[in-house]
């Protein structure tokens, strides 16, 4: 999927220079597009609250990644059925982010059921939103570093999420609705891939939710692409510290696999790693990049008494899969308990080393 966003250096520097620690511009400009739409709807007239959002991230894949040419479950129809079952609830809305090939069946089905509460491909490029993009970058420079500690793909992905989030707020406001940040919950659908993870994470944060999205990972609702081996069953999602989510699945032979994902981390905050205490020879540890064009760069490793796993976010070039080598009940439970008890902490910044030496 290709998205193009252009922000001139002049606009970027003007907006960044106007910030005070980054936060002020975010708070001042964040609601501006939606505020303008609200004025068109009658100023102070009460807006109808949206408490729950179904977020569809690109069309569902309909074939198996591990069994070539074999059809996957009809995840599209299954997901749409779940959303449509709540379409009569006027506090629920649906947002669909299509790929460049579109998804007519999903769009037609959801918009027919949700009416004005069905939003497709929202986007906002107003000056207020561009100021938010500048603020996000400024805060990343301050928090994550400015010597290559993060990459352009992360910034681009976050920019998409920010523009789409502001566009969603604006489109809802034009129709007399507004997201209720005190009660907002997000339910995300999509294939198990980088786009699904990064946009469910970033957009949930930028929409103002207080908790991560509920990511529907059941095999009948999600095509599991981003695992090194075939997934037979989704087991559970365990919320951990710092809004990190631990997902556990099973292979057909009963051996569990697990991944850690950020659920509510803005681009400008440091990514996370998970350190778990368990016999290192009891697991296999794989680390991949969510994008084949970006080289893996993470912290995962085996220790004498455990492992360090990279917490993915869909665009940072590292996410880890931990595979238990046993399917015995006691070993599976020990695997789960160890990973659920992992220490979650931000990845360290660059070393305090001067590489340039004058002679």
Strand order in the sheet with 283-288: 233-239, 244-250, 256-262, 319-324, 283-288
Q: Which two tokens stand for residue 185?
A: 């919950």
The answer to whether residue 275 is domain-embedded is yes
The answer to whether residue 222 is domain-embedded is no
Could you tell me if 286 and 166 lie in one domain? no
Could you tell me if 149 and 181 lie in one domain? yes
Cβ neighbours, 10 Å, residue 27: 9
Half-sphere exposure (Cβ direction) of 186: Cα atoms closer than 13 Å: 28
Q: What is the pTM of this model?
A: 0.87
The answer to whether residue 3 is domain-embedded is no
The answer to whether residue 226 is domain-embedded is no
pLDDT of residue 2: 36
φ, ψ at 301 (rounded to 5°) = -170, 165
Could you tell me if 142 and 284 lie in one domain? no
The answer to whether residue 356 is domain-embedded is no
What does the CA dihedral 335, 336, 340, 341 come to, rounded to 10 degrees?
A: -40
Could you tell me if 205 and 142 lie in one domain? yes
Output DSSP code: residue 61: P
The answer to whether residue 358 is domain-embedded is no
- The pLDDT profile of the chain, 359 residues, written as one tens digit per residue, is 434 343 443 343 344 444 434 333 333 334 456 666 656 654 567 899 999 999 999 977 766 667 766 777 788 899 999 999 999 999 999 999 998 888 888 999 999 999 999 999 999 999 999 999 999 999 999 999 888 888 999 999 999 999 999 999 999 999 999 999 899 999 999 999 999 999 999 999 999 999 999 999 999 999 888 899 999 999 999 999 999 999 999 999 999 999 999 999 999 999 999 999 999 999 999 999 999 899 999 999 999 999 999 999 999 999 999 999 999 999 999 999 999 999 999 998 766 665 666 66
Could you tell me if 179 and 237 lie in one domain? no
Name the nearest CA neighbour of 266 among 96, 91, 95, 142: 142
Could you tell me if 62 and 162 lie in one domain? yes
Alpha helix stretches (DSSP H) within the chain: 9-17, 23-29, 32-40, 75-84, 104-114, 127-143, 152-174, 194-206, 329-340
Name the nearest CA neighbour of 222 among 53, 72, 54: 72
- Alpha carbon distance 146, 359 (integer Å): 26
Could you tell me if 110 and 33 lie in one domain? yes
Range of the domain at 176: 9-215
Could you tell me if 68 and 189 lie in one domain? yes
Could you tell me if 170 and 280 lie in one domain? no
Could you tell me if 205 and 79 lie in one domain? yes
Q: Which two tokens stand for residue 318?
A: 């590292």
pLDDT of residue 28: 36
Could you tell me if 146 and 265 lie in one domain? no
pLDDT of residue 350: 64
Q: Which residues contact 5 (CB under 8 A, 6 or more apart)?
A: 125, 156, 159, 160, 163
CATH of the domain at 264: 2.60.40
The answer to whether residue 245 is domain-embedded is yes
DSSP codes joined into one string, 328-351: -HHHHHHHHHHHHTPEEEEPP---
- Alpha carbon distance 22, 11 (integer Å): 15
- Alpha carbon distance 181, 184 (integer Å): 5
CB 236, CB 248: distance < 8 Å? yes
The answer to whether residue 223 is domain-embedded is no
Buried b (16+ CB within 10 A) or exposed e, 279-314: ebebbbbbbbbbbeebeeebbbbeeeebbbbbbbbb
Burial of 131 (0-12, 13-18, 19+ CB in 10 A): buried
Total count of domains within the chain: 2
CB 60, CB 97: distance < 8 Å? no
């Amino acid at each position: 999927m290709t998205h193009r966003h252009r922000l001139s250096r002049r606009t970027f520097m003007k907006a960044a220079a106007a910030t005070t620690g980054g936060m002020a511009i975010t708070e001042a400009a964040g609601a501006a597009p939606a505020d303008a739409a609200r004025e068109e709807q009658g100023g102070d007239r009460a807006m109808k609250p949206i408490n729950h959002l179904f977020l569809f991230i690109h069309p569902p894949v309909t074939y198996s990644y591990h069994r070539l040419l074999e059809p996957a479950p009809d995840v599209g129809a299954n997901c749409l059925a779940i959303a449509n079952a709540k379409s009569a609830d006027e506090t629920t809305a649906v947002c669909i982010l299509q790929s460049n090939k579109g998804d007519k069946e999903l769009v037609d089905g959801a918009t027919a059921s949700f009416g004005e509460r069905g939003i497709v491909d929202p986007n906002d490029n107003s000056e207020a939103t561009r100021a938010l993009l500048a603020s996000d970058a400024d805060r990343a420079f301050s928090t994550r570093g400015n010597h290559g500690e993060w990459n352009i793909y992360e910034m681009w992905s976050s920019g998409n999420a920010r523009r789409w989030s502001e566009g969603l707020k604006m489109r809802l406001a034009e129709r007399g609705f507004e997201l209720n940040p005190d009660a907002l919950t997000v339910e995300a659908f999509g294939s198990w891939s980088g786009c699904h993870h990064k946009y469910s994470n970033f957009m949930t944060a930028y929409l103002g939710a207080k908790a991560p999205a509920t990511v529907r990972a059941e095999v009948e609702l999600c095509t599991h692409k981003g695992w090194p081996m075939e997934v037979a069953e989704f087991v559970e999602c365990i919320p951990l510290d710092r809004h990190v989510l631990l997902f556990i699945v099973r292979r057909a032979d009963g051996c569990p696999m697990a991944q850690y994902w950020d659920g509510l981390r803005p681009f400008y905050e440091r990514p996370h790693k998970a350190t778990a205490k368990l016999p290192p020879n009891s697991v296999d540890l794989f680390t991949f990049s969510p994008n084949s064009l970006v080289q893996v760069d993470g912290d995962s490793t085996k220790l004498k008494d455990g492992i360090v796993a990279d917490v993915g976010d869909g665009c940072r070039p590292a996410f880890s899969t931990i595979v238990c080598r046993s399917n015995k009940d006691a070993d599976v439970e020990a695997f789960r308990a160890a990973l659920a008890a992992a220490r979650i902490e931000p990845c360290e910044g660059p070393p305090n080393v001067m590489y340039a030496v004058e002679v």
